[in-house]
Amino acid sequence: MVFRGKPSKACQRCRDRKLRVRLPLPVGRSTPSLKVSSATFNDHLAAPACELEYFAMDIERQLFFSYYIADFSRAWDFLYRHFDPKTAPEHLSLSIDAASLAFLSHHVNSPSAQSLGRQKYISALRKTNKVLQDPTTLQQTIALETSLLLDLFEKITDSRPNSAVSQRAHIDGALALVRLRGLQHFTDPGGLKALTRLALNAVVISITNRESIPEDIIKIREHTASYTDISDPKWLLSGITLKVTNLLSEITTSGLTAEEKVRRCVALERQLEIIDNEAPPKWSYERIHVTEEQGDTTLDGYYDVYSSRMDTQMWNVLRFIRIVLCDEIIESCANTDDETSQHAMETAALVVGEVCATVPQMTDCNGPAAHRLPEGSSANLHTHTLSHFFDTYILLLGLYAAAWSRGCPERARIWIIKQLDRIAEHFGVKEAAKVAAILKLQDGKARTGPWDVYRLIGSYAFAA
């Protein structure tokens, strides 16, 4: 393991909706804090009212760009050039509005924002279908970007039926657009990032439904390899994820023998271990040991500090997949006293500890997470920025997988549930309460799979 003054009047629309927001600065400038209650999200965001310094646009678009794109999911930064609605094509602008309203609704529990977002979504669909009748439109990256935004709206609002076909509708449409245009025409940074986002979404749908990876995604990966540092751990991890996805699909559909299933799971888990052990210094993190008095904030008397939320998430995705593979191995060896099974149990327990060590840096407001609090806050009385909310949100899937694992020690499982309860109560992350509830009801026989929880908590939309 590597250790390394008075508010001005709001616009009429904002007053009608009783929505008060400090508008973030446009991309390229510092992002201010958006304060929320430390216990739960309020019906409004506690900040001064609507004053547009740069563009006359809806506040939800400002929030979407400053917090979702610039802060949380930077894989969407190809949308920066469409920041100004006066210059963006109408169908694309409507799609941005729909996704922005869905994002706002998700975080302030606003039915009115979601309803307006739905109206924008329907208008965007109609305009897009009309625009796509023009062959020249198919040759533009904007068509792909619009499809991805429509898909994002559905994922944030969780408005899709449960069928895999419905989940794939916009993604399949986007893949068709790429085929019509030809991969050779996607060479600019924006187009390549849109392709990368498309590939990620398609893989997520495949792995959560235990389906094989579409051939189009393999071709996209081969194309983007020419423009990517293929030694980067994130690139290597994505490649193994494709193999894991195909293996899980085979296990589901073709009935592999237990021996073949174990052999292939072990090989892939070993590849992930190598990425873990050989990660370059820029992906390293620092391990901090705590005093005995601080011990209850950690699982094993230490926590790890990463350079960014995205690094933390990358590492925990790697660990998540290792846990899934270890569980497949343990299950296949259930009827034998096998060294392979024992090794998988020990590996899972080790990885569980590593996941737990990522928590205090995000959640311990009296310790390593204190610098994430708004300026002037105290340990006993403080709010949290939306950015801090995201910090805690990205922990949920890894924590669930860790506690779900057959290799998870009971004391670790108890500690994880306690952390999830605190994230739900202190940070107002409603998804954390859902995850904790599932774990509390779970026993050795009835186990809700991690990919089902992935869908439940909306991680489709919040995969950075």
Q: What is the pLDDT of residues 316-343, one digit of tens each?
A: 999 999 999 999 999 998 766 689 999 9
At 14 the pLDDT is 39
**Where do the H-state alpha helices sit in 405-449?**
410-427, 430-441
Is the pTM value of this prediction over 0.75?
A: yes
Tokens read off for 113: 């924002």
pLDDT at 36 over 50: no
Please, which pLDDT band fits residue 447 given cuts at 50, 70 and 90?
confident
At 159 the pLDDT is 55
At 43 the pLDDT is 30
Share of the chain above pLDDT 90, in %: 63
Average pLDDT over residues 194-203: 93
Q: Which of 93, 77, 71 is nearest to 25 (CA)?
A: 71
What pLDDT digit, counting tens, does each position of 96-116 carry? 999 999 999 988 888 999 999
Tokens read off for 393: 């949100």
The DSSP line for 17-79 is HT----PPPPTTSPPPP-EE-SSS--SS-SS-----SS----HHHHHIIIIIIIII-GGGGGG
pLDDT at 274 over 60: yes
**Where do the H-state alpha helices sit in 333-429?**
339-356, 360-363, 386-393, 396-404, 410-427
| Domain residue extents for the chain | 12-161, 233-456
d(CA 102, CA 157): 6
pLDDT at 203 over 60: yes
**Mean of the per-residue pLDDT values of the chain:** 84
